[in-house]
């Protein structure tokens, strides 16, 4: 029986408190002339962009800054604005040789999208789906400020097409950034609600990767460790933004969960959360926090008993009884989301009952459905949305 796995990661990952100090050495080897920084105004006011500017100046690398991204979701219009900026900055002598994204998932995803269209042409909408990108994009360095979407190291870009109210998934190994920086020094100013939503995004990545049909022993170990760490440290990181130990642990959980889902894929939590984000534009991780218990219960019939037990252990409990383990997992997730003040129901985050059928039809088309352990119908999605309503 064929059982192979492609394990895809950025070439170099600078990780830990103060890891940014190694970026100059990495850049030196490239002999770069010009880079485009893709970020938002908040990253500039926090001084994070200035840190990177100093590095570029010391290396005599010229740069421009596109700071036109707004949060919480990356949209086609931000990508188009970034591309216009990119084209204006081109000249015969010194073209951009690199894109540097500074921020969380929204900024990394916009930068990935700009980098694709810059070398492949057309519109970012042309690349929706799996493996539609045919030429390597501009190489990307992603300097991450959240823990996190995992976008700094994955081969996915999630971009909202407002004309269809759809969050497109663009997936291709070409999108993998070349170098990542995960330095908690860039994460201490994360607002509380971002710590909660991005922190729970980590948990949902790890759970979905662990129960995915494409899970492997490699992705399993990263996923389980990410869950262990997040259950212990996310409430601490949420309570006290200056708890550098908790921030560092969550940074590792983010990397582990991202390595897991980048290679094992995701499932129905993300298929559904992407639609909610496309329709109502609120925070991705909070949608996940509401959805995970319902989707896990739905999936549990198709998850092997041993995996349910391991998940239960990773959340700090143990039992010999499968149905008790399922209850413990669901209860543990609800207790975690309550601690970090994620809403309990989707109606608190904009869901309208009349939209459920369209959202369910769109969720069926999201590429994350392919690795969910249990196959559902439109009616199944509708009943999941209704349960979480
Ligand atoms: Fe996510």
108 CA → ligand 1 middle, Å: 13
35 CA → ligand 1 middle, Å: 28
Alpha-carbon gap, residue 122 to 145, rounded angstroms: 30
Give the CA distances from residue 198 to residues 317, 321, 341, in Å, rounded to whole numbers and listed in that order.
24, 32, 13
- Residue 1: band (very low, low, confident or very high) from pLDDT cuts 50, 70, 90: low
87 CA → ligand 1 middle, Å: 31
236 CA → ligand 1 middle, Å: 21
The secondary element (H helix, E strand) that includes residue 66 is: strand 62-66
Average pLDDT score, the chain? 95
307 CA → ligand 1 middle, Å: 21
274 CA → ligand 1 middle, Å: 9
Query: Please, are residues 332 and 315 in contact by the beta-carbon 8 Å criterion?
Result: yes
Chain mean position to CA 197 = 11
**Global pTM value:** 0.96
pLDDT in tens, 164-209: 999 999 999 999 999 999 998 898 888 999 999 999 999 999 999 9
pLDDT in tens, 40-98: 999 999 999 999 999 999 999 999 999 999 988 899 999 999 999 998 877 655 689 99
Query: Please, are residues 156 and 169 in contact by the beta-carbon 8 Å criterion?
Result: yes
The domains of the chain, with CATH numbers, are 12-186 (3.40.50.1970), 192-388 (1.20.1090.10)
297 CA → ligand 1 middle, Å: 19
């Amino acid at each position: 029986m064929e059982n192979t796995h492609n394990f895809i990661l950025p070439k170099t990952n600078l990780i830990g408190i103060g890891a940014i100090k190694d970026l100059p050495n990495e850049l030196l080897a490239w002999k770069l002339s010009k880079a485009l920084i893709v970020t938002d105004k908040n990253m500039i006011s926090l001084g994070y962009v200035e840190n990177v500017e100093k590095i570029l100046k010391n290396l005599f690398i010229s740069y421009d800054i596109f700071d036109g991204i707004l949060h919480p979701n990356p949209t086609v219009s931000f990508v188009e604005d970034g591309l216009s900026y990119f084209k204006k900055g081109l000249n015969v002598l010194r073209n951009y040789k690199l894109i540097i994204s500074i921020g969380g998932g929204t900024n990394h995803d916009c930068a990935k999208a700009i980098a694709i269209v810059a070398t492949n042409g057309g519109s970012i909408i042309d690349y929706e789906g799996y493996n539609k990108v045919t030429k390597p994009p501009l190489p990307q360095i992603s300097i991450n400020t959240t823990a996190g979407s995992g976008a700094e190291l994955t081969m996915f870009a999630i971009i909202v097409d407002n004309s269809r109210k759809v969050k497109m998934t663009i997936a291709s190994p070409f999108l993998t950034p070349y170098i990542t920086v995960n330095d908690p020094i860039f994460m201490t100013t994360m607002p509380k609600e971002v710590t909660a939503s991005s922190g729970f995004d980590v948990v949902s990545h790890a759970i979905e990767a662990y129960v995915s049909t494409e899970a492997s022993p490699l992705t399993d170990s990263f996923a389980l460790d990410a869950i262990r760490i997040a259950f212990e440290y996310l409430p601490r990181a949420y309570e006290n933004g200056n708890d550098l130990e908790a921030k560092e642990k969550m940074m590792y959980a983010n990397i582990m969960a991202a390595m897991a889902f980048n290679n094992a894929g995701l499932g129905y939590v993300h298929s559904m959360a992407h639609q909610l984000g496309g329709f109502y534009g609120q925070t991705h991780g909070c949608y996940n926090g509401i959805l995970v218990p319902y989707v896990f219960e739905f999936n549990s019939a198709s998850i092997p008993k041993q995996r349910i037990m391991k998940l239960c252990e990773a959340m700090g409990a143990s039992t010999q009884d499968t149905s008790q383990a399922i209850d413990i997992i669901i209860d543990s997730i609800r207790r975690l989301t309550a601690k970090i003040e994620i809403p309990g129901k989707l109606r608190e985050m904009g869901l309208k009952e009349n939209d459920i059928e369209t959202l369910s039809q769109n969720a069926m088309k999201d590429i994350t459905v392919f690795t969910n352990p249990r196959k559902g119908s439109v009616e199944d999605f509708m009943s999941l949305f209704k349960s979480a309503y």
